[in-house]
Amino acid sequence: MQVSLLIYQSPKGFAERDDPDQRATFWAERIPYYNAIRASGALAAAVALQPPETAVTLRLRNGQRIVEDGPYADTKEQLGGVLVLDVPDLAGAVDWMWRFPGLNTAVVELRPNLTPISSATAGPQKIDLEKAG
Amino acid sequence: MNYSIFIYETAEDFAKRSDPARSEAHFGGWMKYFEGLRAAGIMRGGSGLMPPDTATTVKLRSGQRLVEDGPYADTKEQLGGFFMIEVADLDAALDWAAKCPAAATGVLEIRPNLPPMKQD
């Protein structure tokens, strides 16, 4: 089955991730985690988002666009990325959730996918660590 | 630029998925929309999500595992799916978001993606 892990980062998490001095430490924790998921064959797709202040929301009401700055959900932790996993069952996905390196400050939401990412799309944005390196 | 678009849907739109009288039209609209994105060559992935009542949320605080049923964000509209597109700029992303079937009833959040991670 395919599931999405929605990663809600704390303000501190975003600060570490995007601070030039702390970025390397942040990713040094994360990259082995993503590599382990990929080595297990469970990594279907992954995307990291620019911080919440870059978000824009759009509503169409009576044909008029209503555009607002900022994310939709007014939550303490904010969406920072999504991992899509191919796992045998929910328990397999939950195991990966507990292993998430930032879980002591982040919140991770698991949601089964309605449609597999591969069939819904032309080409999922995969983490290509060899190529990126 | 690469953008993620998060689709926050109303309870009514979630209900259409499993309503035999409305599901075909509902999913037909989405298929047509995604076909348009693919035809434009800008589709970079995406997934529909099962409804919010299937969500499980976990966190670790002071070494304790905390598990809750349901989605993290307690919002009126709830995340129903997301997709990524490669477009020139935010205006183009907004143009595509405005054509999304959920735009007239729900809320679309548009967020630029970080570049793919580097492995040092």
Asked if residue B26 is part of any domain, the answer here is yes
Q: Are A14 and B114 in contact (CB under 8 A)?
A: no
Domains of chain A, earliest start first:
2-132 (3.30.70.1060)
**pLDDT of A35-58, one tens digit each?**
999 999 999 999 999 999 999 999
Q: Are B31 and A119 in contact (CB under 8 A)?
A: no
From the CA of B22, how many Å to the nearest CA of chain A? 17
Report helix, strand or coil for B110: strand
CATH code: domain of residue B105:
3.30.70.1060
B103 to A60: CB separation less than 8 angstroms, yes or no: yes
Question: For residue A119, what pLDDT is reported?
Answer: 44
Question: For residue B116, what pLDDT is reported?
Answer: 72
Question: For residue B47, what pLDDT is reported?
Answer: 93
pTM: 0.92
Asked if residue B77 is part of any domain, the answer here is yes
Number of C-beta neighbours around residue A92 at 10 A: 15
A59 to B58: CB separation less than 8 angstroms, yes or no: no
Q: Decide if pLDDT at A12 tops 60.
A: yes
- Mean pLDDT calculated for residue range A111-122: 67
From the CA of A45, how many Å to the nearest CA of chain B? 8
Instruction: Specify the number of domains making up chain B.
Output: 1
Regions of chain B with pLDDT less than 50: 119-120
Question: For residue A106, what pLDDT is reported?
Answer: 97
pLDDT band at residue A101 using 50, 70 and 90 as cut-offs: very high
φ, ψ for residue A109 (rounded to 5)? -105, 130
Question: For residue A130, what pLDDT is reported?
Answer: 36
Asked if residue B21 is part of any domain, the answer here is yes
Asked if residue B28 is part of any domain, the answer here is yes
Q: Decide if pLDDT at A131 tops 50.
A: no
- Mean pLDDT calculated for residue range A69-92: 96
| Nearest beta carbon to residue B50 from set A45, A113, A127 | A113
Complex confidence, ipTM: 0.94
- Tell me the three-class secondary structure of A57-70, residue by residue: EEEEECCEEEEEEC
**CA B69 from centre of chain:** 20
Question: For residue B11, what pLDDT is reported?
Answer: 97
What six digits make up the tokens of A20?
A: 């030039």
- Mean pLDDT calculated for residue range A105-129: 67
B51 is in which domain, residue-wise?
2-112
How far apart are the C-alpha atoms of B77 and B102, rounded to whole Å? 11
Q: Who contacts B110 (Cβ-Cβ below 8 Å, separation ≥6)?
A: A55, A56, A57, A58, B3, B4, B5, B90, B93, B94, B97
Q: Tell me which chain A residue has its CA closest to the CA of residue B56.
A: A110
φ, ψ for residue A80 (rounded to 5)? -120, -15
Q: Decide if pLDDT at A132 tops 60.
A: no
Q: Decide if pLDDT at A118 tops 90.
A: no
Asked if residue B117 is part of any domain, the answer here is no
Q: How many CA atoms lie within 13 A of A93 on its CB side?
A: 25
Asked if residue B119 is part of any domain, the answer here is no
Asked if residue B120 is part of any domain, the answer here is no
